Amino acid sequence: MPLSAESKEVIRATLPAVGAAIGDITPLFYKKMFAAHPELERNLFNRGNQKQGEQQKALAGSIAAFATLQLDPDPARVEAILSRIAHKHASLGIKPDEYWIVHKHLFEAIVEVLGEAVTPEVAAAWDELYWLMANTLIKLEDDLYKAAGVAPGDVWRTVRVAERRHQSADTVSFVLTSLDGAPLPAFRPGQYLSVGVVLPDGARQIRQYSLTNAPSQGDWRITVKRILATTTPDGAVAPAGEVSNFLYDNVFEGDDLQVTTPFGDLVLPDDGAPLLLASAGIGCTPMIGMLAHLAETGDERKVSVLHADRSVANHAHRHELATLVERIPSAEVHRWYEDLGAREPLETVRVGRADVSDLPLDPNTKAYLCGPLPFMLSLREALIERNVPAENIHYEVFGPDSWAPSA
């Protein structure tokens, strides 16, 4: 059901004010919610993203984008935004009741920040907008749970680590099997699952990891890159990854892990369209899963694979990438490294940043991107300049989704 005409006009009139204050509203919302429900911060939300403000930015962006799209409808963009959120929520086991918790503390924050500007008419319009978004997500998530054959939120299971293998110095993969030998739930190439671990301070933290094997191979495999603390150019310190370091340092063959049913909307189409799979750094993981599927099924469509990394040594799944491309009849790979060391550049192995300017591209190409935001934004712009339609360019963001391209 669309937003009512009355509420639409109120939203149109107040969106500039709310949008200008959203950067103050969302941090206050999280502060209020975590004060009332500290278990959510410890056991559900990503503490690292909270400290850096990334989750607040993503929430603000999704609310503003959804509100804007009610004023100037674009069903395709609404579907894309909400589908991504719904898959993430399903992978966390979010239940409908939790939307009431969010509503309470979000609206308290709105009233506290905007004060007397929040008249009953304004409150009613934004309340309608919130529940339009929330109920749409609840329906999408319910559909995802039904498709997975689970009750809402009942997505967690215990699996056993059958194999641990280094894919680079700071990256390891884990092959996961069921405890009783029964088949694990099916997934689609490109999807991810959540991993929950209890950290030394007792907090249960959850992260998502792409599946890096083909669905037909039976088991699940994920790849984890340990995230070390770094100092940004402006002097800020980006903290080490709590879960990635815990998994890297503590999980080995024979250990059990708590994981979820696979979800994720960045999946390979079965329409035979030419593909461009472009990644940077650990963004290679969903692409490895897609390539494994293409190799296992003998897919004959044209596949262009691009990967950018800091160095050959840093490139996780480097040998496997080359091997999979060789198994796909019409696939080719191009790699760029910031530092080639003592190695000489080749026609398909170059120094510098990924560049599609001289890459042959079919106008019907469907592109899949994964990596740091600057990499994906730059590549998306370059692909559009090469006449690849914007609707054919899909992406995966590791962490809160703060990228919402408008075209």
Instruction: Inform me whether the pLDDT recorded for 400 exceeds 60.
Output: no
Instruction: Inform me whether the pLDDT recorded for 402 exceeds 50.
Output: no
In a domain, 251, yes or no: yes
> Which backbone phi and psi does 230 adopt, to 5 degrees?
-135, 160
In a domain, 404, yes or no: no
User: 20 and 58, same structural domain?
Assistant: yes
Residue 296's pLDDT is what? 95
Q: Which domain holds residue 324?
A: 275-396
In a domain, 319, yes or no: yes
Q: Looking at residue 319, which CATH number applies to its domain?
A: 3.40.50.80
Residue 260's pLDDT is what? 97
Instruction: Inform me whether the pLDDT recorded for 63 exceeds 90.
Output: no
Q: Which of 17-21, 57-61, 253-257, 320-324 has the lowest mean pLDDT?
A: 57-61
b/e sequence 91-113, b meaning 16+ C-beta within 10 Å: bbbbeeebbeebeebbbebbeeb
Specify the residue for token string 């959120």. 85
Instruction: Inform me whether the pLDDT recorded for 407 exceeds 70.
Output: no
User: 294 and 221, same structural domain?
Assistant: no
Last residue of a domain, one of 100, 122, 148: 148
In a domain, 266, yes or no: no
In a domain, 280, yes or no: yes
358-395 pLDDT tens trace: 888 988 999 999 999 899 999 999 999 999 999 999 98
User: 251 and 174, same structural domain?
Assistant: yes
Continuous segment of H or E residues that includes residue 78: helix 75-92
User: 229 and 311, same structural domain?
Assistant: no
75-119 pLDDT tens trace: 888 888 899 999 999 999 999 999 999 999 999 999 999 999 999
- pLDDT bin (cut points 50, 70, 90) of residue 398 is low
Instruction: Inform me whether the pLDDT recorded for 406 exceeds 70.
Output: no
User: 129 and 162, same structural domain?
Assistant: no
User: 176 and 89, same structural domain?
Assistant: no
Last residue of a domain, one of 148, 176, 197: 148
Beta-bridge partner residues of 337: 309, 351
> Which backbone phi and psi does 228 adopt, to 5 degrees?
-90, 155
pTM of the complete model beyond 0.75: yes
**Exposed/middle/buried for 175, CB within 10 Å: 0-12, 13-18, 19+?**
buried
b/e sequence 117-126, b meaning 16+ C-beta within 10 Å: ebeeebeebb
Residue 224 DSSP SS3: strand
Q: Which of 27, 42, 51, 25 is nearest to 236 (CA)?
A: 51
Residue 64's pLDDT is what? 82
- pLDDT bin (cut points 50, 70, 90) of residue 237 is confident
Active site residues per annotation: 99, 141
User: 203 and 284, same structural domain?
Assistant: no
In a domain, 164, yes or no: yes
Average pLDDT over residues 29-46: 91
179-234 pLDDT tens trace: 998 999 999 999 999 999 999 999 999 999 999 999 988 899 999 999 888 777 77
In a domain, 300, yes or no: yes
In a domain, 406, yes or no: no
- Distance of alpha carbon 306 from the chain centroid: 19
CB atoms within 10 A of CB 363: 10
Q: Looking at residue 35, which CATH number applies to its domain?
A: 1.10.490.10
312-325 pLDDT tens trace: 999 999 999 999 99
Q: Which of 267, 294, 259 is nearest to 84 (CA)?
A: 267
Q: Looking at residue 169, which CATH number applies to its domain?
A: 2.40.30.10
User: 243 and 125, same structural domain?
Assistant: no
Instruction: Inform me whether the pLDDT recorded for 278 exceeds 50.
Output: yes
Mean pLDDT of the chain: 91
Last residue of a domain, one of 201, 236, 260: 260
| Number of domains the chain is built from | 3
Q: What percent of the chain has pLDDT over 90?
A: 71
User: 293 and 256, same structural domain?
Assistant: no
Residue 399's pLDDT is what? 52
Q: How far is residue 60's CA from residue 56's CA, in Å, rounded to a whole number?
A: 6
The answer to whether the CB of 185 falls within 8 A of the CB of 261 is yes
Residue 58's pLDDT is what? 74
